[in-house]
Amino acid sequence: MTDNTLFEPYALGAITLSNRIVMAPLTRNRAGPGFVPGNITAEYYAQRASAGLIISEATQISQQGQGYQDTPGIYTQAQIDGWRKVTAAVHEKGGHIFLQLWHVGRISHVDLQPNGAAPVAPSAIRAETKTFVDNAFVDVSQPRALEIDEIAGIVNDFRQAAANAIKAGFDGVEVHGANGYLLDQFAKDGANVRTDAYGGSVENRARLVLEVTAAVAEEIGAARTGIRISPVSPANGISCSDPQAQFDYIVDQLEALGIAYIHVVEGATGGPRDVTPFDFGSLRRRFSKTYIANNGYGLELATSNLADGKADLIAFGRPFIANPDLAERLKSGAPLAQMNPATLYGGGAAGYTDYPSVAEASAK
């Protein structure tokens, strides 16, 4: 048994979380026809509603924004209706849930794009990574560079998706600006060699992520808007020559927007926290609202960093897959179950909703 602030309530905007444990977004590739989340998705999230805050799996703002098979959308009425079942199930259990909005940019495949078109990106630079299509991991397709007059449409797609999320009953939204997807591609010069207003300088490369975040905050309110960033993660073949300057600037501008939180992947996504030197404390000092720390956290590191004021909330990812009652297990010291990697992506209930809580396991 442990006693620390990880298990204390926390005020996030207009809502009060029951604890400081956040369920991080986890792609599971189980959306139904039309990229609609089904009843099984509602069950999955409701099982994990004892997290202080759930951030949903990444959800595309348009068909163009899709990069993996069977990921859900938030751009049709059927998708909104499907998500409404999810939010109702979570709220019935006393939980809170934000929807993560994404556009994958170049991390896609022609088989997923409208009319088999090339994926879009800041520049026509193919990422050295794979995506999940037709139940297999395959190389991503060669992208094309977005025309400057197309960019406003993408900003508007994020704005509309945020409005749709609120219609679906979400408590707020998280803009996905991390892990080598479209907004991160614009921010980092390894993927962005544009020479117009969206490329070159730190300020220009930050323009799209800031325009999107501002549009979302204007649409649904800054108190219901968060963003995820990953300053130094090499996920999906992304790189940046000046991450400290780039993300100090971005966070300064996010502070000015007054959004509810920044959700920061500290280090390489799902990998080493010390992948490259970076002062995450600088981001913490620049942002006066909520700082959610993510990547490689267990109970000891979470407790220590909260006690030292290095974060306000702690996000846990994969431990939530096999431990729907992760918050209770961390508090009681119960052992954590291990997930089956074979059922991580795609499929049905197996490896999704059939992991038991401690109470369920002991009752068998």
Four-point Cα dihedral 214, 220, 221, 226, nearest 10: -60
Give the residue among 184, 101, 186, 181 at the shortest CA–CA distance from 151: 186
CA distances from 345 to 85, 182, 191, 292 (A): 22, 22, 27, 26
Residue 294 near residue 263 (C-beta atoms within 8 A): yes
Alpha-carbon span 311 to 60, nearest angstrom:
28
The reply to whether 249 belongs to the active site is no
Give the residue among 4, 34, 51 at the shortest CA–CA distance from 319: 51
- Give the phi and the psi of residue 74 in degrees, each rounded to 5: -145, 40
H helices present in the chain, as ranges = 39-47, 77-92, 151-167, 182-187, 202-220, 243-257, 280-286, 299-307, 319-322, 326-332, 358-363
Active-site pick, 10, 75, 181, 291: 181
Sign of dihedral through CA atoms 145, 147, 151, 157? negative
Amino acid at 196: D
Strand pairing partners for 98? 55, 172
Which residue is listed with tokens 């998280």? 174
Which residue is listed with tokens 């704005």? 159
Point out the residues that are catalytic: 181
